[in-house]
Amino acid sequence: MKLITEEINKVEFITEGKGASKKCYIQGIFLQAEQVNRNGRMYPMSIMEKEVNRYNESFVLKGRALGELGHPDGPTVNLDRVSHKICDLHREGNNFVGKAQLLSTPMGKIASSLISEGVTLGVSSRGVGSLRMTNEGHKIVGEDFMLATAADIVADPSAPDAFVSGIMEGKEWVWEGGILREQLAETTKRRINTLVDQRRLEEHKLNLFNDFLSNL
């Protein structure tokens, strides 16, 4: 069984309630079936729907459906990196639409700050399963597919500069304290821009962001 991740970039950021009862959510398509995605994989509806039903029963309905900020290396959900809780996941045609509440964890607060500053974020499902190559040149996910999480929060890979732009623009506290903090932000941006390996980019962006905050 292989670790399988699929990224979807179109999700909405919504808020519900006011004041102390205000809650923030991301909402959109979390999973897709019966179509070859940009990674060259296709999930049969029978397999996806069966696994989503299991995931809903075992995790969503019990308040245990958690996701992380960034691209984890394995199928295990790391509690120290949890940013949100998936509270709904249902089928609409060949799509499975989800809704996730951003939590008051360190990673949840980072995700909320990035979104509120206009940074484009998406979601990435994470699971394990076998793959079978077809004569048409794409792979079909096998019946042993299991979701680790329906959605991790990830940055849009088409706009890597959005990460740094989002924390520098419109945030007065970034610039307070003078030149040192401004130079640190520029150094962080240059280091991000030199990461040419796309698979390493997401992991390094989060590490660099934490380094940036620790020096404020």
pLDDT by residue (tens digit) across 87-143? Answer: 999 999 999 999 999 999 999 999 998 888 888 788 889 888 888 999 999 999 999
More confident residue, 128 or 186: 128
- Structural domain boundaries of the chain? 2-155, 162-214
Taking the C-alpha atoms of residue 74 and residue 37, their distance in angstroms, rounded to an integer, is: 21
124 is catalytic: yes
Of the candidates 71, 83, 112, 125, the residue annotated as catalytic is 71
pLDDT digits (tens, 9 = 90+) for 20-59: 678 889 998 899 999 998 888 999 999 999 999 999 999 9
Question: Long-range contacts of range 42-51, CB-CB < 8 Å, 24 or more positions apart?
Answer: 42/138, 42/139, 42/140, 42/141, 43/140, 43/141, 43/145, 44/140, 44/141, 45/94, 47/141, 47/142, 47/143, 47/145, 48/96, 48/141, 48/145, 49/91, 51/127, 51/145, 51/146, 51/147
**Amino acid at site 211:** D
Active site residue 90: no
What tokens were used for 10?
């179109």
Check residue 199 and give its pLDDT. Answer: 53
Confidence at residue 186, expressed as pLDDT on a 0 to 100 scale: 57
Catalytic residue among 46, 124, 125, 130: 124
pLDDT average, residue stretch 10-27:
81
